[in-house]
Amino acid sequence: MTDATLRPRRSVLYMPGANERALEKAKALDVDALILDLEDSVSPDSKAEARDRVCAAVQSGAYGHRELVIRTNGIDTKWHADDLAAAAQAGPDGILVPKVNSAAEVQQIEAAMEKAGAPESTRIWAMVETPIAIRKVHEIAAASERLAVLVTGTNDLVAELRAAHVRGRTPLLTALSQALLGAREAGKVILDGVYNDVRDAEGFEAECEQGRDFGFDGKTIIHPSQIEPTNRIFAPSPEAIEHAHAVIDAFRAATAQGKGVLTVNGKMIENLHVRDAERILALAEAIQRD
């Protein structure tokens, strides 16, 4: 497990880069990461102003433990090159690029970041939100050591599939599974997409639980009201932490006694269970530290 995967990313909130009041409010939100957006939430005539404001916010040092990510405009837009250069020079924790469709595009992004002087600590975040991206998730995820996080863009994916937004996300289940398979094969973090109806708390929690059960590391969100349930659902539960400790203790005791087989609460424990217990405890410790 790399350092990038140990960082809690349960709740990842999009914030409009053109809205100074929203950026100020974000300093007090109990969120793991903020995506300061230059794309969908910013009108064409406000792009340059938003870019300056977002870069200044990143360099202010006023956001505490929160991971700061700048989302640029897409590679095929006239704003992308300036966004990427300015973001690289600002040195956020990550730069999120929408609609990444190939390994070649990841390498193009990496080269541009390095040319602009991005520090080593600034990682690439890539949105996978098209049919071609879903079919190439592993290729995209494995294209660069600098790429740390994949973000599923479920709204764009639904539109491109000509599917419907429905409870349970049946039209997206195949794509979500493929995205997870590709990300895990490459050893990268992957975040679930947004839930659009901020008034539907019950539906939102159900989708968080679905994403957690699928294996996503966290969820991108669009409103502060979604932070608490996301943090709670994507964090290890007290029961899971207790069980993880029991597994580790039992494994150590069995190893000391030279035993090859062990059980916890009547269930056989293998090395894969020990690794999962270690991951759960590492995540719980990282959350507590933040």
pLDDT per position as a tens digit, 191-238? 999 999 999 999 999 999 999 999 999 999 999 999 999 999 999 999
Question: What is the average per-residue pLDDT within 42-61?
Answer: 96
249-287 pLDDT per residue, tens: 888 888 887 776 678 887 777 888 888 899 999 999 999
**Main-chain dihedrals φ then ψ at residue 170, nearest 5 degrees:** -50, -40
- Cβ-count burial of 119 within 10 angstroms (0-12 exposed, 13-18 middle, 19+ buried)? exposed
What residues does each domain of the chain span? 3-234, 238-289
Query: CA 255 to CA 179: how far, in whole Å?
Result: 37
Is the pLDDT confidence value at 163 over 70? Answer: yes
CATH of domain 3-234: 3.20.20.60
119 DSSP assignment? -
Report the pLDDT value the prediction gives residue 2, as an integer from 0 to 100. Answer: 44
139-148 pLDDT per residue, tens: 999 999 999 9
Least confident of 109-123, 173-187, 199-213, 253-267: 253-267
Name the nearest CA neighbour of 137 among 96, 82, 182, 90. 182
Is the pLDDT confidence value at 172 over 80? Answer: yes
Residue 133 structure tokens: 């991206």
The DSSP annotation for 129-145 comes to -SHHHHHTHHHHHTS-T
Report the pLDDT value the prediction gives residue 5, as an integer from 0 to 100. Answer: 53
Name the nearest CA neighbour of 109 among 101, 97, 91, 93. 97
pLDDT band at 1 (very low <50, low <70, confident <90, very high): very low
Query: CA 111 to CA 117: how far, in whole Å?
Result: 10
Residue 99 structure tokens: 């609609």
pLDDT band at 4 (very low <50, low <70, confident <90, very high): low
- 246 Cβ contact partners less than 8 Å away, ≥ 6 residues apart: 264, 265
Query: CA 91 to CA 191: how far, in whole Å?
Result: 22
Q: HSE of 63 in the Cβ direction (CA atoms, 13 Å)? A: 24
